[in-house]
Structure 1
Amino acid sequence: MRTSYQRPQAAIAPTFRGAASALAATAALAMAALHLGGNAQAGQEAGSDAEPVRSQALFLTAKRLIVSPGNVLENASVLVEDGKITAVGTDLKAPEGAQAIQGEVICAAFMDPWSTAGFDTGSVNSRDLNAATMATDALDPYGEKAVLEELAASGVLLTRSQVGLASDISGFGAVLRTPSAEVVLEDASMSAAIGAESPGFSPDQFGGRGGPQGFSFGPQSIDPIDRIGQIDKLVSELAAGQKYAEDMAEYEKELAEWKAAIADKEKELEDDFKKAKKAREKAVKDAEEDGEEVKEKKYKEDRRPREPRYDAEKAAFARVVQGEVPMVVHAERALEIRDLLRSTEPFKRLRLVIAGGTSALACKKELRERGVTVIVAPSPANPGGPVGELDPGLSLAAELDAAGVNVLIGTGNASALASRDLPLLAALAVGHGLDRDTALRAITSGPAATFDVADQVGTVKRGHAADLLVLSGDPLSSSSRVLAAISGGAVVPQATK
């Protein structure tokens, strides 16, 4: 439940709307041109605006309806009304006036679990964030409109987006609908990073690459000692959050006991009122006869328990250690992942998610036993790259899955536009050994479950929000095209490619 330790309005982190947003250059693979996209052949007129158009009921039909990965109905239909899926089956009839859309395949919309889409560039690269930061304060649907249109055209209608890539701890990421930057869940995860390269420049102590006067420009690596220090700091914050949660729980217990005691005392006083009134009247009469003053017995109420001082950052971490919100930590190297697993083991309710995990295979047993999810951003092997360790490349997702580790596929925050290539990355993972259903799950129902929106999106189920794709073929085929994208029950217009 997402009810405890909610921040009061006064504690909202500052908005980070800065300079006008610019499209970050994508680091997509050379095969990105094969990404799913295509003509808007869904019965609506093609256009260049990706704002969803809400209209009458929708009646979708296809030869294959993927209810969830591995669960397929043949020659089936989906009825959408008022933004919700109201019926799924093989014997449905279109209601009068419904808009009919046909295709080869219907499936749940793709969801990128590791993205920056929807937020302004300044906030995405900001260092000045903390655990209480809300990424939704940096929403920039107009500045990022062209990017969001590209994502919708490729079938990526949902993202788990975050800000603060240069910050050790960057606060709460959100689940968004990309066509409109609508917030599905504003506190989908806490985000942190261990050993990530920091953008910008730093003093060049070794006289290597760099700019004038001993400064190096471009991404800067963090040395091993500092990386371990980042883990120690994160664990310290988690411990402070746990103490805060315990103090709050103790206060709430004492407050409940105090209220119960007050209620009991009030009932006792009410029950004894008549007797006490007669006793007082007699005391007053006796005092008057004796010429004395009546001494009233004062009621002394027990002191109300003192509430712990509100701390927005500790309250945020309290939610994380209580398991209310998952924590996504970007970590690539085996040393960092292993130390992170060891250091966080005492927090039994912590829902840890590793993003990146280039060398995660070295810790596969620990990851499986802890139930830690790994978000993989498939890319070619780079043994001499910044991680400097064994890099399995495109086979990482398949090897982790084979070891029993829960795997999601994301685009890795390379840029907001990179999310466009999510189905391509899933297809590449399939080409390097990952089961096709597992790959589809890794970009649909898997992220939805991990980030607590599985009751709304991720599968084609009655009662769920209608975030759906109608495709010309298999969801992970490079030749398939998006015929219609349905976001929150509304058809998303798409430009003809």
Structure 2
Amino acid sequence: MTTAFLGGYVVPVSGPPIEDGTVLVADGKIVAVGKPVDVDIPDDAETVDVSGSWLLPGFVEAHGHVGVLEEGEHWVGVDVNEMTDPNGARLRAIDGINPDDEGFRDALSGGVTTIVVKPGSGNPIGGQTVAVKAWGRTADEMVIREPVSIKSALGENPKRVYGEKDKLPSTRLGVAAVIRDAFVAAQDYRLRREHAEREREPFTRDTTLEALVRVLDGQLSWSQHSHRADDIVTAIRLSEEFGYRLVIDHGTEGHLLADLLAAKNIPVIIGPLFTSRLKVELRRRSLRNPGILARAGVKIAITTDHPVVPIHFLVHQATLAMKEGLDADTALRSITVNPAEIMGLADRVGSIAPGQDADLVIWSGDPLDVMSRAMRVFIGGREVYRFDEHTGEGVTVSPFYTESR
């Protein structure tokens, strides 16, 4: 099916805005973007009138727990942390996702179409992350890429979880030691595996070490939960010791090391930004921090850490960060192309360009204006959400099978 979006203010993010723009979509992909005279629209194409509205790519949430930490389900919907083993590298977030979590519907109402779902931060090594679309019947149908990275945590959370059990790790030293020991074991495992392959000998696989070898080989990034500046430095120390690709999650005190992070080209997924300072590690939480990092040259993405902050408030965090010094261009990039690039998804999402997935959102106005609404949301060119102006409610198309009567 071919669809032409006509007459809107098109914001590709990867390029300059286009007044009275046209976006042509076919078979779930964007095939052309430009002025009407520059886009050849087939006679049989369906049209969507975007006049008077803004057309943007769906937002990208780079660090959330939608589907694995369900809202309103109490303990039944809590599958975010397997806090019985400090090294959970073999654990996969995809195995815990419930596509019917209310958070996915909230995401659509806020223009969020892509979510990197991550295990929680109770373990030094929490498990494998997965990038999904915010709409689908099964987690497998929703997948963009799996796995994307491995989640790891430093600082207060794993120290508290295992300290309360009188187990290693109960200190920051212990947390770092668990991570270091795991990577040394993975290095040894890789050598044994290579030897077995050369000699054509049988080899017993280990799913935990297999996952960590993929990090060592550069296939997966390392998503490092770290708030305090000293924990961020430990994250850098470990990454340089083993040579893996580091992404800082949260980075609450990252602004204190902004020049160091920029020099080492380490991106920061910063947030959540609307929370109170419930933990010691959050004492320097500030909406000014994204702007400080960005001005220093750090590539940033903004996160809600849903459900810590509801995912549909993602754009509002960017707006208020802009109020506190973040420039408008970076604010928009921090919830679109930047998280897509940081998490290795930019070939499919985060901008409006030929070849990208047709994940598009029609906004009533500039999304960085808090009065603007996501009016219609399309994933893969299919409309999945619409705001009803008469009732004042959003309507999500159900992905589940219903028998016609």
* Structure-1-length-normalised TM-score: 0.69
Contact 1:381/1:393, CA 8 A, preserved across alignment: no
The equivalent of 1:313 in structure 2 is 208
Q: How many residues align?
A: 371
Distance in 1 (CA, whole Å) between partners of 2:236 and 2:277 is 24
Which one of 298, 304, 319 corresponds to residue 405 of structure 1?
A: 298
Residue number in structure 2 paired with 1:343 = 238
Structure 2 residue aligned with 1:152: 108
Is 1:360 aligned to residue 266 of structure 2? no
| Alignment counterpart, residue 101 of structure 1, candidates 42, 46, 49 | 49
SS of 1:342's partner is helix
The aligned residue for residue 221 of structure 2 is: 326
- Whole-angstrom distance in 1 between the partners of 2:124 and 2:322: 33
1:365 and 1:94, CA in 2 relative to 1: closer, same or farther beyond 3 A?
Answer: same
Question: In the superposition, relative to structure 1, how do residues 335 and 99 fare at CA in structure 2: closer, same or farther (>3 Å)?
Answer: same
Match in the other structure for 1:183: 143
Which residue in the other structure is 2:403 paired with?
Answer: none
1:396 counterpart (289, 307, 321): 289
Query: What are the within-5 Å matches in structure 2 for residues 337-486 of structure 1?
Result: 337-348=232-243, 350-379=244-273, 385-387=279-281, 391=284, 393-415=286-308, 418-486=310-378
Secondary structure of 1:159's partner?
A: strand
The answer for the alignment partner of 1:79 in structure 2 is 24
1:133 is the counterpart of 2:91: yes
How far did 1:308 drift?
4.2
For residues 65 and 278 of structure 2, what CA distance do their matches in structure 1 show? 27
> In structure 2, how many angstroms separate the alpha carbons of the residues matched to 1:131 and 1:201?
17
Query: For residues 163 and 362 of structure 1, what CA distance do their matches in structure 2 show?
Result: 27
SS in 2 for 1:113: strand
Question: Which residue, 52, 55, 66 being the options, matches 1:117?
Answer: 66
Give the partner amino acid of 1:100: V
Q: Hey, what's the Cα distance between the residues in 2 that align with 1:420 and 1:380?
A: 13
Shift of 1:312: 1.0
Change (3 A) 1:479 1:380: closer
Deviation for aligned residue 1:155: 0.2
Say if 1:112 and 1:443, in contact at 8 Å, map to a contact too. Answer: yes
Q: Which has the larger radius of gyration?
A: 1
TM-fit CA distance, 1:66: 1.6
Instruction: Evaluate the alpha carbon distance shift between residue 473 and residue 439 of structure 1 in structure 2; reply closer, same or farther with a 3 A threshold.
Output: same
Alignment of 1:194-273 (within 5 A): 194-197=154-157, 226-252=171-197, 254=198
Q: Which amino acid aligns with 1:481?
A: R
CA shift for structure 1 position 251: 4.7
Equivalent position amino acid for 1:88 in 2:
V
Amino acid at match of 1:310: R
Highest RCO, 1 vs 2 (Cα 8 Å, sep ≥ 6) = 1
Contact conserved, 1:69 with 1:438, CA < 8 A, in 2?
Answer: no
**Deviation at 1:320?**
0.7
Structure 1 residues 133-153: Cα deviation after superposition (integer angstroms, max 9, x where no partner): 1111112112x1x32112101
Are 1:61 and 1:106, in contact at CA under 8 Å, matched by a contact in 2? Answer: no
In structure 1, give the amino acid aligned to 2:149: S
Deviation of 1:413 after TM superposition, in Å, equals 4.0
Deviations 1:323-373 (A, max 9, x none): 11111011111121112212321223x110111111122322332222211
- 1: CA distance, partners of 2:207 / 2:161: 31
AA partner of residue 160 (structure 1):
V
| Aligned-partner SS, 2:129 | strand
Q: CA deviation at 1:223?
A: 12
Superimposed CA distance per residue, residues 265-308 of structure 1 (whole angstroms, 9 cap, x where no aligned partner): xxxxxxxxxxxxxxxxxxxxxxxxxxxxxxxxxxxxxxx43254
CA distance in 2, matches of 1:399, 1:139: 35
Gaps of 5+ in 1: 1-55, 205-219, 255-303
Distance 2:255 2:48 in 1: 47
1:381 Cα deviation from its structure 2 partner:
9.0
CA contact (8 A) 2:247 2:269 kept: yes
Distance 1:372 1:250, change over 3 A: farther
Which residue pairs with 1:57 in the alignment? 2
For residues 195-227 of structure 1, give each alpha carbon's deviation from its aligned partner in whole angstroms, at most 9, with x where no partner exists: 2437999999xxxxxxxxxxxxxxx9x999612
Give secondary structure in 1 for the equivalent of 2:385. coil
Q: Is the 8 A contact 2:226 2:249 kept in 1?
A: yes
SS at match of 1:437: helix
**TM score, norm. by length of structure 2:** 0.83
Aligned-residue offset at 1:494: 2.9
Residue 78 of structure 1 contacts residue 87 of structure 1 at CA under 8 Å; is this kept in 2? yes
Q: 1:341, 1:366 within 8 Å by CA — same for their partners in 2?
A: no
Aligned twin of 1:12 = none
* Separation in structure 2 between the aligned mates of residue 203 and residue 312 of structure 1, nearest angstrom: 26
AA aligned to 1:99 is: T
Distance 2:6 2:311 in 1: 27
Do the aligned partners of residues 488 and 339 (structure 1) sit closer, same or farther apart at CA in structure 2, a change above 3 Å counting?
Answer: same
C-alpha RMSD of matched pairs (Å): 2.8
